[in-house]
């Protein structure tokens, strides 16, 4: 099984994928952080889903950027990982 970061690196070699990724960099940056936190806590998608009161397919959709999470949902994710959610405009 390939690690997430090696798969991401491989996919970003494709110029079209890289262009789309760059257009959505802010969203993917947030998703990357969620995935990284989940992996660092040795937590499966199913385990995170259970802690959030949802189901694994919802986490899969979140991690694939198929859904746009609400601020309250992001706050719940932050709480699971004992983090503080901070949103800012730069």
Boundaries of domain holding 58: 4-80
pLDDT on residue 67: 86
Q: Is residue 86 part of a domain?
A: no
11: in domain: yes
Tell me how many domains the chain contains: 1
Q: End-to-end CA distance of the chain, in Å?
A: 37
Q: Who wins on pLDDT, 80 or 5?
A: 80
Q: Report yes or no on 32 lying in a domain.
A: yes
Determine the Cα–Cα distance for residues 52 and 55; give it in Å rounded to an integer: 8
- Mean pLDDT over 4-14 rounds to 87
pLDDT in tens, 21-79: 787 777 778 898 999 999 999 999 999 999 999 999 999 999 988 888 999 999 999 99
> What pLDDT sits at residue 2?
63
pLDDT for res 28: 76
| DSSP code for 89 | -
* pLDDT band, residue 4 (cuts 50/70/90): confident
Please tell me the distance from the alpha carbon of residue 45 to that of residue 87, in angstroms, as a whole number: 24
Distances in whole angstroms, Cα of residue 84 to Cα of each of 5, 7, 12, 13, 76: 24, 28, 30, 33, 10
The CATH number for 12's domain is 1.10.260.40
Query: Does some domain include residue 89?
Result: no
Q: Which helix H or strand E contains 48, and what residues bound it?
A: helix 45-52
For residue 47, being part of any structural domain is answered with yes
Q: Is residue 8 included in any domain, yes or no?
A: yes
Backbone angles phi, psi at 85, to 5 degrees: -80, 130
């Amino acid at each position: 099984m390939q690690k997430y970061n090696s798969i991401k690196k491989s996919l970003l070699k494709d110029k079209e994928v890289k262009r789309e990724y760059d257009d959505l960099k802010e969203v993917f940056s947030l998703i990357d952080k969620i995935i990284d936190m989940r992996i660092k806590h040795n937590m499966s998608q199913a385990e995170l889903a259970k802690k959030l009161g949802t189901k694994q397919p919802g986490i899969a959709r979140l991690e694939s950027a198929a859904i746009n999470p609400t601020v309250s949902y992001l706050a719940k994710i932050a709480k699971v990982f004992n983090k503080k959610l901070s949103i800012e405009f730069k």
